[in-house]
Amino acid sequence: MDSYNAPESTPSASSRPEDYFIGATPLQKRLESVRKQSSFIPTPPRRKIPQCSQLQEDVDPQKVALLLHKQWTLYSLTPLYKFSYSNLKEYSRLLNAFIVAEKQKGLAVEVGEDFNIKVIFSTLLGMKGTQRDPEAFLVQIVSKSQLPSENREGKVLWTGWFCCIFGDSLLETVSEDFTSLPLFLANGAESNTAIIGTWFQKTFDCYFSPLAINAFNLSWMAAMWTACKMDHYVATTEFLWSVPCSPQSLDISFAIHPEDAKALWDSVHKTPGEVTQEEVDLFMDCLYSHFHRHFKIHLSATRLVRVSTSVASAHTDGKIKILCHKYLIGVLAYLTELAIFQIE
Amino acid sequence: MSPQKRFKNVQAQNRTSQGSSSFQTTLSAWKVKQDPSNSKNISKHGQNNPVGDYEHADDQAEEDALQMAVGYFEKGPIKASQNKDKTLEKHLKTVENVAWKNGLASEEIDILLNIALSGKFGNAVNTRILKCIIPATVISEDSVVKAVSWLCVGKCSGSTKVLFYRWLVAMFDFIDRKEQINLLYGFFFASLQDDALCPYVCHLLYLLTKKENVKPFRVRKLLDLQAKMGMQPHLQALLSLYKFFAPALISVSLPVRKKIYFKNSENLWKTALLAVKQRNRGPSPEPLKLMLGPANVRPLKRKWNSLSVIPVLNSSSYTKECGKKEMSLSDCLNRSGSFPLEQLQSFPQLLQNIHCLELPSQMGSVLNNSLLLHYINCVRDEPVLLRFYYWLSQTLQEECIWYKVNNYEHGKEFTNFLDTIIRAECFLQEGFYSCEAFLYKSLPLWDGLCCRSQFLQLVSWIPFSSFSEVKPLLFDHLAQLFFTSTIYFKCSVLQSLKELLQNWLLWLSMDIHMKPVTNSPLETTLGGSMNSVSKLIHYVGWLSTTAMRLESNSTFLLHFILDFYEKVCDIYINYNLPLVVLFPPGIFYSALLSLDTSILNQLCFIMHRYRKNLTAAKKNELVQKTKSEFNFSSKTYQEFNHYLTSMVGCLWTSKPFGKGIYVDPEILEKTGVAEYKNSLNVVHHPSFLSYAVSFLLQESPEERTVNVSSIRGKKWSWYLDYLFSQGLQGLKLFIRSSVHHPFPEQRA
């Protein structure tokens, strides 16, 4: 019982919470950050307007072309354990074998046939926000054409990529055994995503979760993307709201000329280079009141489900399509932020 | 079919016997019974209300109409009838409506199949009947066999046959058994000859084929057909299935990528099939809601290909080693030096190989393996713990059923998952950080009902931490639910908070003995820890006091509260931790004035233990001489003495409202109770009075009137012995330790 009968000390200091975590384990620190996240509003009240990134210049333009104008399904991903960029070839081989094994499992109709597919892992050099972000990488499943004379490239059946843009400031530092690429984007059959995701989960002990985008974050996207300076607009700015009613939900689409949207944004925008929460709210409120004046419908009572602009379009289901090469990094930075919020 | 033989989901209470008791049903139903030929209103009614809120009585009416319709079809068309077409149409409508709404019982299906294929009616009618043969739950195999036998008679047209095969393929999964049907394999196979039937028969055979059905002559026949008809997808499908079962029999190469072999035979019944599946799954516990959340849009694609939430245990041979370039896969598999998980069977094995254990490829799999849980428990390897943390956090978040609308069908699975986690925590006697993080996120959204027991157990396993930090994240949300929920919820919350306290105390008492004593930041940490525990206790005290008011001093609730304080009063002695926190007055006086003897007994026990703890602390202080920061303030002692005085005053010395509870004598006079002084002693206290009476009756059973005031002097101590013999151990301990005289002086 003597053990705690200590000499005089300052009991006042002991009541401060920080003292509990003297020599805290990484897990305790992690918990600390979860606590902070849970007790405050998760999103910072201001963000940068997407800028053209310097690093992006290094990215192979052919690869960038692969990423644009495609619909991607978003996932968040916990850090990969023991992933190594020097083993991409080996991973290609292992994943290829895994896919073949999976496809043959229990399928009566396709037994004994060769799967003429090829798995290609490759890095997306330069696809990062800061130098400290880990390198993004791309996985492609390509069908090998059976006739050698036909185009040698083969058809891309499935594409997926892993990235982390400006993630370092948000991510808790993890030990060097882990590679943090919190954002995963997939394009192709869901069944393929399932097989490939399973392989990653088994091999790198990570966890994929679908990343939905709520209406709050969609409004942010609308504002940030409208704020981007564009040389020419390729698409109208369009919003889609969903009204929950039975038996089928009712969708309200609201399309605006992109220049009008920009003009509206400029009129509510004050802080240069940044977007604030008040500005986002004001921007959306203006749209709501405009709509109400004409149609007597309060859009604020419905749910925003899709936003499309010339920069990118996003759906609440967690689907995104990026149109503008210039702001690729900027779009991905926000998505990375959302993914990190889901895994932390 | 007799009218009694009905199997529909009609409410039993609305089923009335035929005849006069029909007053229970509504007029429309009554009408039908009165005049069977005039049930037009019923079928019309059915038409106008596709799906929706039917009254039970309408169900009843519908049921009767259906019986009549089936009966009509069974008898066959009545040639003489004038408005034959009209009646036929009416009955068909009835059957269609019921079938699409609720499905048909297997007996009805049996009859209708019979009718459709026997050719009693025309082709158009047969088609309509076949199209609406939708099971309520299942189809009996016998009906199908009987139906197939009609095909041999040649009474039905080609188009009816086609439709029948399509129906069979669509409903295949709802047929209760398939042995008999498989015996008809040869018959079906022969039907491949018919060009019109061929695609559908192929599909049926595809579903039906077992290995033993694949015979060389059938393979030959199929190849012949293929030669005759060309590369038909349906034939290819069957061939490739045959090839799968008997690769040696088929040397023909079949094209690889072919996804759709069969035209969708089920199209006709698509919505009906969904409805049947839904019915078979049982009523959905949660009605579909209109929600504004983003989650309900997204279809659940949760489990990619794993059958259970927790991954299977696999050692991670290739992840680590195949990374090295020079090592081939076979090297990895044959390498020595590490111990494969698959061979780990016993605890001694674990101890022997703990240094070279191959870790699982997915850390989550340890949850199902107690040996590895041991390992997780003692390992301080950061990546191992982080991998487990990430996996558990994300899985909880993904599986949590109240995060996503329409996810309630997975409720059972989620409950099981939580149970597994809790088992692991109990096994390790340690909470997981992931669970705490999960509680932060999910508790604000919790309805207090879903997985209640599991959720509250998770609360009791929150790892020790600063109470003031956790309070806004957890306890404030819990308090909201606590105050607005039933008394049972309150009791379970108190129970889990008691367990939480116990877990924290155990953890702390282990912790201080493991760390070195001198000159470490331990002192401050221990002080802080005690502060945190004491805040938790005060918080529960506040919850309890308010709950007592809300539940009007419920004895049941008080039991749970006192259970909590039974832990609290013994912290100093049982856990060797420098902390004594007393209960709030609201609890103490409620217990003291309770009408329940067991409450009072429990209170006595707790007071006795408080006394022991405080005297032990005092003694220790005197021995140590030096002042410690953990010396209890004199306020604690004063508070205790105050409670003690009140208790002794009430129960023993019969001076209840003097020192302890002070009540103005004038007010006491106004109550008009003459003998208030001894009214709360061990004889007269409402919770003891019955004991006093039993005691006196035992003494002199013949006595007609008992005078409890006669218990004094010697009798008083006999009475006490009687009370102690009745199992009031708490009272015994209290009186032995806090009252120094055998009986009150004034009575001596």
The verdict on A162 and A195 lying in the same domain is yes
Q: Are residues A118 and A258 in the same domain?
A: no
Q: Identify the weakest region by mean pLDDT among A150-159, B191-200, B416-425.
A: A150-159
Interface confidence, given as ipTM, is 0.84
Residues of A in Cβ contact (< 8 Å) with B244: 108-109, 111
Region B584-606: mean pLDDT is 94
Residue A170 domain-assigned (yes or no): yes
CB atoms A9 and B395 under 8 Å: no
Task: Based on the fold, state whether residues A176 and A109 are members of the same structural domain.
Answer: yes
User: Nearest C-alpha of chain B: how many angstroms from A80?
Assistant: 9
Separation CA B590–CA B6 (nearest Å): 59
Q: Which residues of A touch B398 (CB under 8 A)?
A: 209
pLDDT range class, residue B597, cuts 50, 70, 90: very high
Looking at residue B570, its pLDDT comes to 93
What pLDDT does B91 receive?
A: 86
What are the counts of helices (DSSP H) followed by strands (DSSP E) for chain A? 9, 15
pLDDT at B21 over 70: no
A145 and A64 inside one domain: yes
Q: Flag whether residue A4 sits within 8 Å of chain B, measured between CB atoms.
A: yes
pLDDT of B20 reads: 37
Average pLDDT over every residue of A143-166: 78
Residue A315: closest CA among A70, A72, A77, A76: A72
Domain boundary among A175, A208, A241: A208
Q: What is the mean pLDDT of residues B97-124?
A: 85
Q: What distance in Å separates the CA atoms of residue B246 and residue B235, rounded to the nearest whole number?
A: 16
**Residue A65 and residue A173 share a domain:** yes
In 3-state terms, what secondary structure has residue B721? Answer: helix
Q: Do residues A95 and A172 both lie within one domain?
A: yes
Q: Of A152, A178, A208, which one is at a domain's C-terminal end? A: A208
The answer on pLDDT for B24 being more than 60 is no
Task: Tally Cβ neighbours within 10 Å of residue B627.
Answer: 11
Report the chain B residue with the minimal C-alpha distance to residue A305.
Answer: B294
CA dihedral (B287, B291, B293, B297) positive or negative: positive
pLDDT surpasses 50 at B423: yes
**Mean model confidence pLDDT for chain A:** 82
- For residue B282, the model assigns a pLDDT of 54
Would A5 be classed as within a structural domain? no
Give, for B190, the enclosing helix (H) or strand (E): helix B185-190
Q: Which residue has the higher pLDDT, B128 or A218?
A: A218
Residue B730: is its pLDDT beyond 90?
A: yes
Summarize pLDDT for B269-291 with one digit per residue, the tens. Answer: 777 777 777 776 654 433 333 33
Closest CA to A253 of A220, A295, A214, A192: A295
Beta-carbon separation of B524 and A13 below 8 A: yes
Q: What is the mean pLDDT of residues A109-137?
A: 79
Averaged pLDDT for residues B408-436: 87
Answer yes or no: is pLDDT of B322 > 60. no
Task: Report the number of distinct structural domains present in chain A.
Answer: 2
Q: What per-residue confidence (pLDDT) applies to B81? A: 56
Residue B665's pLDDT is what? 77
Residues A72, A203 within the same domain: yes
Provide the domain limits for residue A132: 59-208
Q: Is residue A340 part of a domain?
A: no
Encode pLDDT of B527-541 as tens digits. Answer: 788 889 999 999 999
Q: What digits encode the pLDDT tens for the residues A197-224?
A: 999 998 999 999 999 999 999 999 999 9
Chain A residue with the nearest C-alpha to that of B259: A109
What are B150-191's pLDDT values in tens digits? 888 877 888 888 889 988 888 888 888 888 888 899 999 998
Q: Is the dihedral of CA B637, B638, B640, B641 positive or negative?
A: positive
- pLDDT by residue (tens digit) across A272-298? 888 999 999 999 999 999 999 999 988
| A245/A110 same-domain check | no
User: What pLDDT is attached to residue B419?
Assistant: 93
Is residue A190, in this structure, part of any structural domain at all?
yes
Q: What is the DSSP letter of B223?
A: H
* Mean pLDDT confidence for B52-57: 47
Across A267-271, A332-336, B161-165, the highest mean pLDDT is recorded for A332-336
**What is the distance between the terminal CA atoms of chain A, rounded to a whole angstrom?**
41
In a domain, A177, yes or no: yes
B656-670 CB burial, b ≥16 within 10 A, e <16: bbeebbeeeeeeeee
Residue from A53, A68, A56 nearest A322 by CA: A68
At which of A208, A238, A255 does a domain end?
A208
Which band of pLDDT confidence, cut at 50, 70 and 90, is reported for residue B712? confident
A254, exposed or middle or buried, with CB in 10 Å at 0-12, 13-18, 19+? middle
CA-wise closest residue to A37 among B110, B397, B169: B397
Phi and psi at residue A126, in whole multiples of 5°?
90, -10
Q: Which residues on B lie below 8 Å from A212 (Cβ)? A: 294-295, 297-298
Determine the distance from the C-alpha atom of residue A176 to the mean position of all C-alpha atoms in its chain, rounded to a whole number.
23
Residue A277 belongs to a domain: yes
> Is residue A25 included in any domain, yes or no?
no
Q: Name the residue with tokens 């109470």.
A: B467
A241 confidence band (pLDDT: 50, 70, 90):
very high
* pLDDT higher than threshold 90 for residue A73: yes
Distance of CA A57 to the CA centre of its chain: 21
Which residue of chain A is at minimal alpha-carbon distance from B435?
A: A31
Closest chain B residue by Cα to residue A193? B304
Which has the closest alpha carbon to B177: B268, B116, B117, B106? B106
Q: Supply the DSSP string of B656-681, one letter for each residue.
A: TTTTTS---HHHHHHHT-TT-TTTTS
Q: Looking at residue B565, what is its pLDDT?
A: 97
All residues of chain B having their beta carbon less than 8 Å from the beta carbon of residue A27 are 385-386, 389, 433
Domain assignment present for residue A30? The answer is no
Confidence check: pLDDT of B295 > 50: no
Average pLDDT over residues A43-63: 72
Q: Do B390 and A207 touch (CB under 8 A)?
A: yes
Amino acid symbol at B589: Y
Q: Which letter, b or e, does each residue of A21-50 get, where b requires 16 or more Cβ atoms within 10 Å of its Cβ?
A: eeeeebbeebbbebbeebeeeeeeeebebb
Position with higher pLDDT, A152 vs B689:
B689
Distance from CA of B567 to the nearest CA of A (A): 19
Say how far apart CA B364 and CA A81 lie, in whole Å. Answer: 13
Average pLDDT score, chain B: 78
pLDDT reading at B466 higher than 90? no
DSSP string, B451-505: THHHHHHHHHTPPP--HHHHIIIIIHHHHHHHHHS-HHHHHHHHHHHHHHHHHHH
User: Does B264 or A329 have the greater pLDDT score?
Assistant: A329
How many angstroms away from the CA of B617 is the closest CA of chain A?
10
Of A2, A79, A244, Cβ closest to residue B390: A79
List phi, psi (to 5°) of B333.
Answer: -70, -30
Assign A25 a pLDDT band (cuts: 50, 70, 90): low
Can you tell me the mean pLDDT for B567-595?
Answer: 92
Find, in chain B, the residue whose alpha carbon is nearest to that of A143: B257
A116 in contact with B, Cβ within 8 Å: yes
Beta A178-179 vs A136-143: how paired, if at all?
Answer: unpaired
Residues in chain A: 344
SS (HEC) of B34-100: HCCCCCHHHHHHHHHCCCCCCCHHHHHHHHHHHHHHHHHHHHCCCCCCCCHHHHHHHHHHHHHHHHH
Task: Please tell me if residue A10 touches chain B, with a CB cutoff of 8 Å.
Answer: yes
Distance (Å) from the alpha carbon of A126 to chain B's nearest alpha carbon: 24
Q: Do A87 and B363 touch (CB under 8 A)?
A: no
Q: What is the pLDDT of residue A155?
A: 85
Interstrand relation of A237-243 and A303-308 (parallel, antiparallel or unpaired): antiparallel
Contacts of A155 (CB under 8 A, 6+ apart): A142, A143, A145
Assess whether A160 and A255 both reside in one domain.
no
Per the listing, tokens 């939480």 go with B500
Residue of B64, B78, B81, B153 whose CA lies nearest to B121: B78
- Residues of chain B positioned with their CB less than 8 A from the CB of A182: none
Q: What is the pLDDT of residue A225?
A: 93
pLDDT at B29 over 80: no
> CA of B574: how far to CAs of A116, B296, B511, B568, B622, in Å?
69, 51, 15, 10, 20
Portion 469-528 of B in contact with A at CB < 8 A: 469-470, 472-473, 512-513, 517, 521-528
Asked whether residue A64 falls in the same domain as residue A204, the answer is yes
Counting residues of chain B whose pLDDT is more than 70, the rounded percentage is 76
The confidence score (pLDDT) of residue B4 equals: 43
Q: Are B105 and B138 in contact (CB under 8 A)?
A: no
pLDDT at A49 over 50: yes
What pLDDT, in 10s, does the model give residues B388-416?
Answer: 999 999 999 888 877 665 556 677 888 88
Q: Which of residues 196-235 of A touch B (CB under 8 A)?
A: 197-198, 201-207, 209-210, 212-215
Residue B523: pLDDT band (50, 70, 90) is: very low
**Does B291 contact A5 at a Cβ distance shorter than 8 Å?**
no
Two structure tokens written together for A325: 């090469």
* Residue found under tokens 């005089």: A8
Q: Are B77 and B120 a contacting pair, CB within 8 Å?
A: yes
Average pLDDT over residues B721-730: 92
Tell me, what's the pLDDT at A11? 36
pLDDT band of B325, cuts 50, 70, 90: very low
Place of tokens 């012949």: B224
Residues A74 and A179 in one domain: yes
> For residue B57, what pLDDT is reported?
56
Cβ-Cβ contacts under 8 Å, A342 against chain B: 397
Among the listed ranges B43-52, B562-571, B627-636, which one has the minimum average pLDDT value? B43-52
CB A198 to CB B319 under 8 A?
A: no
Nearest CA among B101, B17, B88, B85 for reference residue B53: B101
Same domain, A198 and A69: yes
Helix residue spans in B310-381 (DSSP H): 317-321, 329-334, 347-353, 370-378
Statement: residue B356 has pLDDT above 70: yes
| Dist. CA A279–CA A220, nearest whole Å | 9
The pLDDT score that the predictor gives to residue B264 is: 60
pLDDT above 80 for A134: yes
Residue pair A302/A286 in contact (Cβ under 8 Å)? The answer is no
Mean pLDDT of B350-371: 84
Inform me whether the C-beta atom of residue A1 falls under 8 Å from chain B C-beta atoms: yes
Residue A109 has pLDDT above 70, yes or no: no
- Give the residue from B604, B477, B582 showing the smallest Cα distance to B537: B582
